[in-house]
Amino acid sequence: MSDFLRRFAADFAALDADNLHRLGSLYSEDIRFRDPLHEVHGLPDLRDYFAELYANVRELHFDFHGHDQAGDGEGYLRWTMTFRHPRLRGGAPITVDGCSHLLWWDKVYQHRDYFDAGAMLYEHLPLMGGAIAWLKRRLA
């Protein structure tokens, strides 16, 4: 793993609700952050997004287990995220695999996450979860 990706993964995995001020050491002021559920522009909005995310979960942990550097200042990190949310799956742990595409100079200026939003959220909602499970069985 490149030094940049190794450092980014370690610093990102160490984030929690109490140290979101560290986002400025990872991301540029004009960061563009996208995932299947949100798009955020600028470091202040990213801090707000992460603060809301951490306020709504009981635990959040990232295990980075793969990487690919596509060139200077571009790479991918593969990860597994485990979290607990009091209103999803009765507060039991939920595990989601994903990948982050990063563009950087000295800091990341574009971060795009790819993951199955259904596996993260929709499949664990009381009414929607049953309908999605049924639909998956029908399509399989």
Max CA separation in the chain (angstroms): 48
For residues 99-128, average pLDDT: 83
Please name the residues in contact with 92: beta carbons below 8 A apart, sequence gap of 6 or more: 84
Exposed e or buried b for every residue in 117-129, given b needs 16+ CB within 10 A?
ebebbebbeeeeb
CA distance 131 to 10: 38
At residue 139 the predicted structure's pLDDT band, cuts being 50, 70 and 90, is confident
d(CA 75, CA 73): 7
* All structural domains of the chain with their residue ranges: 3-139
pLDDT recorded at residue 50: 96
- Which pLDDT score is estimated for 130? 63
Which CATH number, 3.30.43.10, 3.40.640.10, 3.10.450.50, 3.40.50.800, labels domain 3-139?
3.10.450.50
